[in-house]
Amino acid sequence: MTNIRESLAKTKQASRALASLDAEKIDAVLNALADAIPENSDSILDANKSDLSRMDDSDPKYDRLKLTEERLKIVAEDIRSVASLPSPLGVVLEEHILPNELKLSKVKVPLGVIGLIYEARPNVTFDAFSLCFKAGNACVLKGGSDAKDSNQAIIDVIHNVLEAHDIDPNIVHLLPPEREAVSDLLNANDLVDVIIPRGGRKLIDFVRENARVPVIETGAGIVHTYVDKSADTIKAKNIVLNAKTQRPSVCNALDTLVIHKDKLSDLPEIVTPLADKNVGIFADEESFEVLNGKYNNLQRATEEHFGTEFLSLNMSIKTVSSLDEAIDHIDKFSSHHSEAVISEDEEVVEEFLKRIDAASVLANTSTRFTDGSQFGLGAEIGISTQKLHARGPMGISELTSYKWVVVGDGQIRE
């Protein structure tokens, strides 16, 4: 294994030169990278096939690992979207002239060097670079061994584009896939400014508990949708189907359907489309009695089925007798990622949105919309579930800090 600290030092050094790049240059590089993706799709997809060959296709991570021509097209579109956004750098957040005539301003600046640790999602390699670069940051990427060939192929493309534009390729560094590299990254507090873990609960907990570098948590998604007694059944059926099955392996997919007991008579209609997708349901006692004989892939729920991020075509159902009980259940099991309510009662919607503690709260729509590109951020480097600095989908604005700029004309403090 190469000397990790030497590599990190090169990235730290390279990051300083980013301050001299203007917005036009950054956008030109990003658009060139978007152009390079289809030009290099064969090599990227060949590398991805190599990774996929080592994974069982029944593994929930398989879909996350898989790249296709269509997915690469979407990645390129996202990079162009990032390039089209206004630069967050140099934005003046506040400015004042003090009584002593000092000019004081609060200005957005890059975080510096961002370390990202993620699992079998090679598209994150493109997303992380484009967002960090747009916000003036260098980045150190630690992808999982499952995606090592894909990540290396992607980094090769990024480095070629940077070199073609006379930019030091060390501004983005891919660490070796071995786990030992994580320890060096977590302890490089003199070389790395912040670390963002993006993956399952075990990964996030490990990073938080072992890092000396400041951490921004991007959380596992234990996602609920509450179907109120006033819910429109057709809306509920369509929203639940989309939230659960549109892409079940991602963090904003539905895990637990919470339903008011007065709406149980409509539950068979709400979940019927899920059967065509072979969704397994773990139902509590009341919902099981309603669905038994009307839904084939049905089992009785145990406590472990609540508070589980399934990342697959499985979900649980919890029956409640009131909005308060629904909120209590969600609060107990939530990872504070994305929580939704389906209701035609404006007071219920207002109470839910006000009282639920999550990075994203939604009413009468699918939780699958909690996403950086869907929110108009171009892409996202992760979805933060913490409350300090950034929360929810993290775009370029969340990858900046600020500094105070003080300009005087000879003033001294008395």
Band the pLDDT of 383: cuts 50, 70, 90: confident
pLDDT of residue 1: 44
Cα–Cα dist 368/345, whole Å:
23
| Complete DSSP assignment for 201-220 | HHHHHHHHHH-SS-B--B--
pLDDT surpassing 70 at residue 142: yes
Over residues 165-219, the pLDDT tens digits come to 999 999 999 999 888 889 999 999 999 999 999 877 788 889 999 999 999 988 6
Tell me whether residue 413 is in a domain: no
pTM: 0.82
Report if residue 412 sits inside a domain. no
Tell whether 251 and 286 lie within a shared domain: yes
Instruction: Please check whether residue 48 is in contact with residue 67, taking contact to mean a CB–CB distance below 8 angstroms.
Output: yes
Q: Check if the beta carbon of residue 306 is closer than 8 Å to that of residue 316.
A: yes
- Kindly state the tokens that stand for 216: 């921004």
Q: What CA–CA distance (Å, rounded) separates 24 from 148?
A: 32
190 and 52 housed in the same domain: yes
What's the distance, CA 42 to chain centroid? 27
Q: List the structure tokens of 302.
A: 């145990």
- Domain enclosing residue 80, as ranges: 4-218+381-407
Count of other CB atoms within 10 angstroms of residue 353: 15
Question: Is residue 376 domain-resident?
Answer: no
The answer to whether position 248 is within a domain reads yes
Q: How many domains does the chain have?
A: 2
CATH number, domain with residue 270: 3.40.309.10
Residues 353 and 403 in one domain: no
pLDDT in tens, 82-121: 999 999 999 999 999 999 999 999 999 999 999 999 988 8
Assess whether 173 and 297 both reside in one domain: no
What are the tokens at 370? 């909690």
The answer on 248 and 160 residing in a single domain is no
Average pLDDT over residues 267-277: 96
Q: Is residue 77 part of a domain?
A: yes
Q: Do residues 176 and 252 both lie within one domain? A: no
Q: What is residue 173's predicted lDDT score, i.e. its pLDDT?
A: 97
Mean pLDDT score, 5-34: 95
Residue 302 has what DSSP assignment?
Answer: -
**Do 104 and 195 belong to one domain?**
yes
10 and 36 assigned to the same domain: yes
Residues constituting the chain: 414
Residue 22 pLDDT more than 80?
Answer: yes
Higher-confidence residue: 221 or 153? 153
Q: How many whole angstroms separate alpha carbon 134 and alpha carbon 87?
A: 7
Judged against a pLDDT cut of 90, whether residue 133 lies above it is answered with: yes
Q: Which of 34-38, 363-367, 377-381 is predicted with the least confidence, judged by mean pLDDT?
A: 377-381
Residue 49 lies in a domain: yes
Q: CATH number of the domain that 72 lies in?
A: 3.40.605.10
**188 & 263 share domain:** no
Cβ neighbours for 341, distance < 8 A, ≥ 6 positions apart: 225, 226, 228, 348, 349, 352, 353, 356, 361, 362, 363, 364
Can you say how many angstroms the Cα of residue 376 is from the centroid of all Cα atoms in its chain? 14
Distance between CA 2 and CA 10 in Å, rounded?
13
